[in-house]
Amino acid sequence: MSDYFGGYAVFVALLLVGGGIVGGGLAANRLLRPDRPTPEKLTTYECGVDPVGGHWAQSYVRYYVFAFLYVVFAVDAVFLFPWATIFAAPGYGMTTLAEMFVFLGFLATGLLYAAKKGVLSWV
């Protein structure tokens, strides 16, 4: 029974050592850094431009949809590369070809749905 908890003791010890290293680094940073706050330093930073207007800004959901579509098709590429490597393996050709067409069919259905909803139009 002591061997069972011995593995956890090593894990807890490593966790404490790692936490101590991170905490020590943060404490050293706090002690060694200069601390001279000015009103100019405490203002909101917006890409080097002085902030103008209120703090509330409205953004379009369309940009997030484009980002989501990009992620979907980037993941598509992640699945295509392993498929291309196993496609030439003996005994897997027709099975992997059929599976890939099913996968590409799901992607095409999603793309057609997005196009039908007007998501793909930029303006």
53: left (phi over 0), alpha (psi -120 to 50) or beta: left
Query: Is 17 among the domain residues?
Result: no
Residue 1 scores a pLDDT above 60? no
The pTM of the full predicted model, rounded to 2 decimals, is 0.42
Q: Does residue 28 lie within any of the structural domains?
A: no
Q: What residue numbers bound the domain in which 108 lies?
A: 61-116
- Does residue 16 belong to any structural domain of this protein? no
Q: What domain count does the chain have? A: 1
Question: pLDDT, tens digit, for every residue of 38-49?
Answer: 887 787 776 666
Tens of pLDDT, residues 111-122 = 888 888 887 776
* 103 within a domain of the structure (yes/no): yes
The DSSP letter of residue 46 is: B
Task: Please determine, for residue 61, whether its predicted confidence score (pLDDT) is greater than 80.
Answer: no
The answer to whether residue 49 is domain-embedded is: no
